[in-house]
Amino acid sequence: MGDTADMRDGLETDGQGPERTFAALPAARGRAFARSWWGQAWLKALEDTALDGQQLKLGRRHARAGAVGAVSVRPGRVTAVVQDRDHTRHRSDVLLQQLGAADWDRFLDLVADRAGHIAALLDRDMPPALVEDAAVAGIELLPGIGDLEPECDCGAWDHCAHSAALCYQVARLLDEDPFVLLLLRGRGEQALLDELQERSAARAAVTTGEVATADAPAGRSGEAPDATAATGQGSGNGNGNGNGNRNGNAPGVAAAEVYAARDILPPLPAPPPVVTQPGGAPVLGGGTPPAPGVDVAALEFLVDDAAARARRLLSDALSPWHPDTPPPPGLTPEQDAVRLAADGPGTVMAARLAAGSGRDIRGLARAVRAWELGGPAGLAVLEEDWTPEPAVLARAGERLAAAWEDGGTRPRLRAAGNRWTVLGGDAQLRYGRDGRWWPYRKEAGQWTPAGPATDDPAAALAGMTTPSDGD
């Protein structure tokens, strides 16, 4: 991300609590203000709260033009100076209620109880499960309607163009670092991490003590029966098999006996740690020549791929949102060939993958580009030619009509199915089944993916035709 370095230049200062100041961000032409779901939730709170849509439109123009100065974030307040087109400068603030001490105590407890929440925050992510867990505990992390209160020296009592522009820039900061939201709610990053470390250490100490107590020999007086006795193992049940089974038909333990022993059995072992790097493939070549038809290099490549996929599956299984996330659909052989080719297997292997998936080398290169930009959805947009239903087509047309309302000249487009081609140019927009717009450029006579998908067709085209900021 091109803005990342600027966005993370914030410094914590003494005084009225922690404060971070972010350098003015560059113009945002051709990109959405918020790409993360929590950044979009912030903007939804703004757009649901503001009474004057025209002021929001002006605010977007200010933000896109880079008219918002350095942004100061501290508990309960975010501040910046915004410059009008006539160069008049206005100080604008947006206020957000801080969490109380009891709220923070509950929030820190629930985060400390789930290592995945801590890991996600450190990775600058805010998983939906974290926000949902907080809501269950009565803590609203994200703002809702009416929560973003504006103050501006222009005299407006509702959101004006200056406070709206500030909110749109804050959404970009939130995309990069959700700790900005937590600071607004009252806790700086370092203070929050220090408190989490203390709570995690205290929980680990308690768990260690409980395990030691469970493993210690029982005393003579008031002792609990050991697990063997409680589960009926070797307890002399009359059938001579010593396995706790009461009818002697098959080995096993009665459910009632297992339930009775639940408090004296040791706790389940901790989940395995996340694997940071998959193991390397063994060297299969050696003194013994391979069997006829066995390609050693291809086999080693597949072993490496299997290890990398296993590591990703383990990481997903250990994540806190795994139980609520449906498994992804399986890939077809043609899709899997593109996935493998995206790992850069080399010229010989790429040629085999192309032939096996019914593509030539150039076709595989375009498919890999689509995969890198959008996975199976991006590949489908490249290879599927479909016509949306009339209602879907009407919504797409409305979105195109509104895309250039904030300024800029709308290009002339020719529609065919789910594709809109710029007349007299080499650019094309494709409408995906997921409702997003995918930019394409004609290269060597072939339409080629030219950027990631976005909800804004104007941003999709601009991101393709304008050099990016490194996003």
What is the tens place of the pLDDT at every residue in 122-153? 888 888 888 888 888 888 999 999 999 999 99
Evaluate if residue 227 carries a pLDDT over 60. no
Evaluate if residue 110 carries a pLDDT over 50. yes
Whole-structure pTM value: 0.46
Secondary structure letter of residue 324 according to DSSP? G
What is the share, in percent, of the chain residues with pLDDT greater than 70?
A: 79
On average, the pLDDT of the chain sits at: 80
What is the tens place of the pLDDT at every residue in 39-55? 889 999 998 888 888 89
> In this structure, are residues 185 and 75 in contact, taking their beta carbons and an 8 Å threshold?
yes
Instruction: Give which of 168, 163, 172, 169 is closest to 43, Cα–Cα.
Output: 168
Evaluate if residue 228 carries a pLDDT over 60. no
Instruction: Give which of 58, 25, 32 is closest to 459, Cα–Cα.
Output: 32
**Mean of the pLDDT values across residues 375-390?**
92
Evaluate if residue 293 carries a pLDDT over 50. yes
Looking at residue 206, its pLDDT comes to 65
Per DSSP, the residues of 411-457 read PPEEEETTEEEETTSSEEEEE-TTS-EEEEEEETTEEEE-S--BS-H
What is the share, in percent, of the chain residues with pLDDT greater than 90?
A: 30
**Mean of the pLDDT values across residues 46-68?**
89
**Mean of the pLDDT values across residues 403-419?**
83
